[in-house]
Amino acid sequence: MELHEAQRQVDDFIRGHGGYWNKFQILARLTEELGEVSAAVQRAEGLRASVDPSQVNVADEIGDLLFTVAVLANVCGVSLDEALRGVLLKYAARDGG
């Protein structure tokens, strides 16, 4: 899936489920989701106790984080395609490649 298509699908979902939160609510959710990714990776690596190892799903947590990044990008009017393209160009210029 292309990033712009992902943003469109996230937009459709959000508009169909009560609309966008304000930016500070989205930032709070982004922080929460990042913490969940961190916990899942630590559990998957055996660095944190897990009640049920089958419940550890790093991909699901990264999906939650990605969804929330798309929500923030939509609210801020940012194209994820352009943002990622821009950062890759910036890093290539800085680090070579």
Among 64, 73, 74, 80, binds Mg ion (CB under 5 A): 64
Is there binding between residue 10 and Mg ion (CB under 5 A)?
no
* CA pair distance 70, 78, nearest whole angstrom: 9
Between residues 11 and 36, which has the closer beta carbon with respect to Mg ion? 36
Is there binding between residue 36 and Mg ion (CB under 5 A)?
yes
CA distances from 54 to 30, 44, 45 (A): 24, 10, 13
Name the residue with the smallest CB distance to Mg ion: 64
Is there binding between residue 11 and Mg ion (CB under 5 A)?
no
Between residues 59 and 93, which has the closer beta carbon with respect to Mg ion? 59
Is there binding between residue 61 and Mg ion (CB under 5 A)?
yes
CA distances from 64 to 5, 42, 59, 87, 97 (A): 17, 17, 9, 22, 31
